[in-house]
Amino acid sequence: MRTYLVTGGAGFIGSNYIHYMFKKYGDDIRIINVDKLTYAGNLENLRDVENRDNYTFVRADICDSEAINKIFDENDIDRVVHFAAESHVDRSIRNPEVFVKTNVLGTLVMLNAAKAAWELEDGTFKADKKFLHVSTDEVYGSLENEGEYFYETTPYDPHSPYSASKASSDMLVKAYMDTYKFPANITNCSNNYGPYQFPEKLIPLIINNALNGRKLPVYGDGKNVRDWLYVEDHAKGIDMVQEQGRLFETYNIGGHNEKQNIEIIHIILDTLNEMLPDEDPRKAHINEELITYVEDRKGHDRRYAIAPDKIKAEIGWYPETMFAEGIKKTIKWYFEHEDWMANVTSGDYQKYYEEMYRK
């Protein structure tokens, strides 16, 4: 049975990945989820897997090498899937330091711990051990012209402290692959959306604000473009890269779902109105009047767009959920999980750990 060490599994993509993996492999794998539970970590995301015999949660900081080495000492880890990071660009502009600590130093700790556990005396590595570093398309910078795309060969050109820290972590993984032949892959993915996304990011923020009749803040002219991928497609891509990809390679994962932010907001408003029953009183305030143009983000990247040609050609992955369908699934999930949103916005979700694990 393969044992996975997932970092950051209490966050948005990590928790979706854990759900996906248990759905796919059931009892044939074991997952250890290590997460510091920052503001972005929410164990409620994992409520329906937490009692499984093949799932373990460890609260630890990835920068704490002692805690991470201990996990490797006590378990025969076969796969590392490294999600843990500070992930919000606006926060990185206000406070870059924690981004460098977690994203750069934390990744170094993870690499060193896996290397120490997996390296043999002759400098080669135990068979069938693999590390996957989850990264972002933001490392490639901003595309200014239509028809241009990010390829795996596109030079790195990060602009925000977030993307600079992720670029640095990618470089460390590359250095370990080149220097030690450390068995790893890197994936660079476009913007994700779906269940369990923290409502500081565009899509859940707009859904939540619209439902509550609050303003919908649009940065700048609203014409910045992001390439949106339904989170389960990302989870599937990560697993396919780790099992079917060539070691030491980078794979871009992306949606072919390019949209301007203002288009996203209109689609959300229309979909909310379409999905809410006529008698729902919230329908009265869900309209374009909520849209509010605000000061632009500093250094705001104009356009991201992934060319997922390599992962499609080599591995057969492609985005299965187009935006029109994915946004309906996402909104339906938020309708069915109003408690989750209420707990996140009130801060109550942070009590869950104390209740579940410190009884």
- Least separation in angstroms between residue 222's CB and ligand TYD is 6
Cα separation, 323 vs 340, whole angstroms = 23
Distance (Å, whole) CA 216 – CA 346: 19
Taking the C-alpha atoms of residue 255 and residue 251, their distance in angstroms, rounded to an integer, is 13
Q: In terms of C-beta density within 10 A (0-12 exposed, 13-18 middle, 19 or more buried), how is residue 144 classed? A: exposed
The reply on whether position 234 binds ligand TYD by CB under 6 A is no
Q: Does 45 bind ligand TYD (CB under 6 A)?
A: no
205 binds, among ligand NAD, ligand TYD, none (CB under 5 to 8 A by kind): ligand TYD
Q: According to the binding rule CB under 6 A, does residue 106 interact with ligand NAD? A: yes
Closest separation in Å from C-beta 40 to ligand TYD: 12
Q: Which is nearer to ligand TYD, 165 or 261 (CB)?
A: 261
162 among known catalytic residues? yes
- Considering only 21, 63, 80, 290, the residue that binds ligand NAD (CB under 6 A) is 63
Question: Is residue 326 involved in binding ligand NAD (CB under 6 A)?
Answer: no
Catalytic residue among 35, 61, 78, 138: 138
Residues in 18-47 at the binding interface with ligand NAD, rule: CB under 6 A: 35-38, 40-41
Q: For residue 344, state whether it binds ligand TYD (rule: CB under 6 A).
A: no
Shortest distance, position 273 Cβ to ligand NAD, whole Å: 26
**Interface with ligand TYD, residue 238, by CB under 6 A:** no
134 binds, among ligand TYD, ligand NAD, none (CB under 5 to 8 A by kind): ligand NAD
**Residue closer to ligand NAD, measured from CB, 8 or 286:** 8
Minimum Å gap between C-beta 183 and ligand TYD is 29
Say which of 4, 17, 140, 162 is annotated catalytic: 162
User: Per rule CB under 6 A, is residue 89 in the interface with ligand TYD?
Assistant: yes
Tokens representing residue 293 in the block? 């143009």
Examine residue 163 and tell whether it contacts ligand NAD (CB under 6 A).
no
- For residue 219, state whether it binds ligand TYD (rule: CB under 6 A): yes
Q: Stretches 60-68, 172-180, 284-292, 302-310: which one binds ligand NAD (CB under 6 A)?
A: 60-68
The interface mask with ligand NAD, positions 113-142, x = CB under 6 A, is ---------------------x-x------
Tokens linked to 313: 């050609």
The verdict on whether 48 is a catalytic residue reads no
Minimum CB distance to ligand TYD, residue 192 (Å): 9
CA distances from 245 to 18, 185, 251, 311 (A): 20, 8, 8, 8
Spell out the SS3 assignment of the chain: CEEEEEECCCCHHHHHHHHHHHHHHHHHEEEEEEECCCCCCCHHHHCCCCCCCCEEEEECCCCCHHHHHHHHHHCCCCEEEECCCCCCHHHHHHCCHHHHHHHHHHHHHHHHHHHHHHECCCCCECCCCEEEEEEEHHHHCCCCCCCCCECCCCCCCCCCHHHHHHHHHHHHHHHHHHHHCCCEEEEEECCEECCCCCCCCHHHHHHHHHHCCCCEEEECCCCCEEECEEHHHHHHHHHHHHHHCCCCCEEEECCCCEEEHHHHHHHHHHHHHHHCCCCCHHHHCCCHHHEEEECCCCCCCCECCECCHHHHHHHCCCCCCCHHHHHHHHHHHHHHCHHHHHHHHHCHHHHHHHHHHCC
Our finding on whether 83 is near ligand NAD (CB under 6 A) is yes
State which amino acid sits at residue 278. D
Taking residues 187 to 206 in sequence order and writing x for each that binds ligand TYD by CB under 6 A, - otherwise, the string is ----x---------xx--x-
Report 196-235 residues binding ligand NAD (CB under 6 A).
198
- Using CB under 6 A as the binding rule, whether residue 49 contacts ligand NAD is answered as no
Provide the binding-site residues for ligand NAD, judged by CB under 6 A: 7-8, 10-14, 35-38, 40-41, 61-63, 83-87, 102, 106, 134, 136, 166, 189, 191-192, 198
